[in-house]
Chains A and B, each alone.
Chain A
């Protein structure tokens, strides 16, 4: 199996968001970038498959400019066959269709035998969540969304996800794009320190997608998120705890629904 994992990183939610800017490259350069929980989950799933199926090739592509090099080195510490930065500053991150078209066209340059593309569920499109299925559509490949974990069954590989009271299993039939979501079974492991050091010294290979000829979507404005509109009436219960619990039970009982 030939796996390509695409990672984009996010502005660390524990750090303040840099000043908003219409130029996504400028904003990204000023951000403290980390891999998102979904990026990490996609990478971990790839590592699990590589362990499970001997002979698997793993290529990692990290999108962005030079500010993404630290993310690329972090990912490279897991010793993929190839780790590449994909220079995406000519693309428009608010336009999932455009990105899907140009990133999918680049896939053969990442690995011409690629048959499994793994991405985090909110990969690289300003949270629209449309890029993973868009990549599948652009490639003409199957799509399995919200993958939580993988399991080997004989010589087959199973992708699994939970939906309400059902567990859905897809016996992997390549070629496939799979988006990955966070789950306790796909938390990213720690790399070996010697591999971290080696990744810090590696030369960075850069690929550039073709620039879009036309644009379907223009970005008109970007603003910091406004304060929430909702304001509760803020009745905080007080008094003895038993009395508070009784008040709360009275309130909630009025909203009880018969199943």
Chain B
């Protein structure tokens, strides 16, 4: 058997990290040649272990430390992973995957420096063979693609397929207690910003606006549409640049990668940089007044019209349907 693919899963970040994505991604490249071992930083939890197995783990390790703080701190979690990977059980590992997103990027980049291993970045495909680890990823703002090869232990993030949460899997759970020094957590104060809308992570439906919305007022209606559908609000880079939607809702090459069932793109032209942030299996609904907009090439359903002529009536109709379904 080849060395296992390791999935580093910082599960104590909860919804701030799509922690299962590293396990699902590891499963997608392990096939039958490698096993998937998930390392969960934190105290053992049956619920977390079950989720890790369902996402594709063959074996789960819980790496706890008495001084790991809650809420989780990226520096401490990175150190916990570094101490774990230095244990004899992981000697000679070839590839460790981190979750998609800023927390995964931080953990991966820090581990690469700390352990002097290669950082492959956010990859679209990874293969392992005797000549090395080969990774494909986008570059130049999504306008080019590169292939890099590593001949040493490596860390990466990888787009994960959807997790089949009906799958029933079980495996061995091992607990490790770490004792090395941990850094002091970074001091952060948290304040509720008052923004009430579902998170993009894990959303099954996203309503997203682009430059064509023309101003912040339109995003109030997009937010209403998202709320009436039980979905999340997103935006393209130009709409974030314009200050109409916060940056943590940005979808695209330099924003978040999302995999909802439905992506409603309103006033979005469909540039490659934006489309790079949407999963290939997502169905796209487009509303745009420009019939030549590229977004219609990708859309399952399209309406060629000004959003201002569509959204108010659409929201009203959906609300009527919602009320009717409750009767």
Contact = CB atoms under 8 A, between A and B. Distances in A.
Interface of A: 10-11, 13, 17, 20, 37-38, 94-97, 100-101, 121-122, 125-134, 136-138, 142-146, 148, 162-171, 173, 181-185, 216-226, 228-237, 241-242, 244-246, 248-249, 251-253, 255-259
Nearest to B153: A216
B87 interface: no
Given A128-B137, A166-B191, A241 B318 contact: no
Interface of B: 15-16, 74-75, 102, 105-106, 108-110, 112-114, 116-122, 134, 137-152, 154, 186-199, 204-205, 227-231, 237, 240-243, 246-248, 253-254, 261-262, 264, 272-273, 275, 280, 283-285, 291, 296-305, 309-310, 313-314, 317-318, 321-322
B299 A255 contact: no
Given A224-B144, A259-B198, A245 B314 contact: yes
**Candidate in A11, A142, A171, A252 with the most chain B CB atoms within 10 angstroms:** A252
Contact of B186 (A100, A134, A162, A170): A170
Given A127-B253, A142-B75, A167-B193, A232 B119 contact: no
B317 A246 contact: yes
A183 B253 contact: no
Contacts of B299: 232, 234
A253 B318 contact: yes
A54 to B, nearest CB: 25
A97 B112 contact: yes
Given A128-B122, A220-B147, A241-B310, 8 more contacts: A97-B117, A97-B118, A126-B137, A144-B186, A216-B117, A218-B149, A224-B145, A231-B298
Contact of A251 (B242, B246, B275, B285): B285
B148 A237 contact: no
A14 to B, nearest CB: 11
A162 B247 contact: yes
A96 B119 contact: yes
Contact of A217 (B15, B148, B228): B148
A228 B275 contact: yes
B240 A253 contact: no
A249 B321 CA distance: 9
A169 B121 contact: no
A223 to B, nearest CB: 5
Contacts of A241: 305, 309-310
Contacts of A169: 188-191
B229 A217 contact: no
A184 B244 CA distance: 9
Given A183-B247, A222-B139, A252-B229, A232 B106 contact: no
Q: What 7 A-B pairs come out closest when comparing CB atoms? A: A184-B243, A128-B121, A257-B230, A137-B113, A216-B118, A130-B109, A126-B139
B121 A129 contact: yes
Given A100-B109, A237-B302, A232 B296 contact: yes
A225 B275 contact: no
A127 B142 contact: yes
Given A133-B106, A246-B317, A255-B205, A127 B198 contact: no
A234 B294 CA distance: 11
A216 B150 CA distance: 6
Contacts of B117: 97, 216
Given A97-B113, A232-B296, A162 B144 contact: no
Nearest to A218: B149
A238 to B, nearest CB: 8
Contacts of A185: 243
A230 B191 contact: no
A222 B146 contact: yes
A107 B323 CA distance: 62
Contacts of B195: 162, 164-165
Given A216-B118, A236-B304, A245-B314, A146 B247 contact: yes
Nearest to A236: B302
A224 B140 CA distance: 10
Contacts of A13: 141, 143, 273
A234 B195 CA distance: 34
Contacts of A244: 303, 305, 310
24 contacts: A20-B144, A97-B109, A97-B118, A127-B121, A128-B122, A130-B108, A137-B110, A143-B110, A166-B191, A170-B186, A181-B247, A216-B118, A216-B150, A217-B120, A217-B148, A223-B146, A230-B284, A232-B297, A232-B299, A252-B229, A253-B322, A255-B204, A257-B231, A259-B230
